[in-house]
Amino acid sequence: MKNFMGFTLVELLITIGIMGILTAAIIPSFDGFGKRQALTNASESLRSDISSAQNKAVSGVAVLGAKVDWGLEFASSCDDAHSANSYNLGYFNSGGTFVSQSQRSMSPAISIFCSSNNTRIRFERMSGKLIGAISEYTYLLENNSGDTKSLSIGLRGQVSIN
């Protein structure tokens, strides 16, 4: 009697079938993970840019010797009905006009909605407080799957993501 080592065809087919079922179950969750991660990255990037503008304001960074306020401005109207997809970092000159120094664009799959049409974020020189705000600013970031992140800026400039 011969002793054969190996797997039968039935055992191999069952193993391949189980692997196929597991793969089919896992792939959709990876797609959702990627979209959620892109949303997290976008909200962290926006938070970082807001903090950078605030740090320039607190540090009193001047432009061509002029004292300026620092902030950012959304490239298009953003409110509860309309979304923005990009924003500009820069400063506000003595006349209150925003001067862009660089532009940031979100992924096309990410939209930003602003509360009360707050298209400008302006930090006061030296204090870092929001200028012109009567309540905190809230921005809702949403991906094309409906996942959301909320970014809030308090009156004293503290930034939080929920």
Q: Is the dihedral of CA 61, 96, 90, 151 positive or negative?
A: positive
Amino acid at 10: V
Mean pLDDT along residues 128-155: 90
* Structural domains of the chain in order of their starting residue, each with its CATH number: 10-161 (3.55.40.10)
pLDDT at 77 exceeding the cut of 90: no
Q: Which residues pair with 100 in a beta bridge?
A: 90
Buried b (16+ CB within 10 A) or exposed e, 39-61: beebbeebbebbbebbebbbeee
Predicted pLDDT of residue 102: 93
| Model pTM above 0.75 | yes
Output the pLDDT for position 118: 78
**Spatial distance between the Cα atoms of 41 and 138, rounded to a whole number of angstroms:** 18
- C-alpha span between 121 and 104 (Å, rounded): 15
Above pLDDT 90, what percent of the chain?
50
Could you tell me which residues are beta bridge partners of residue 19?
none
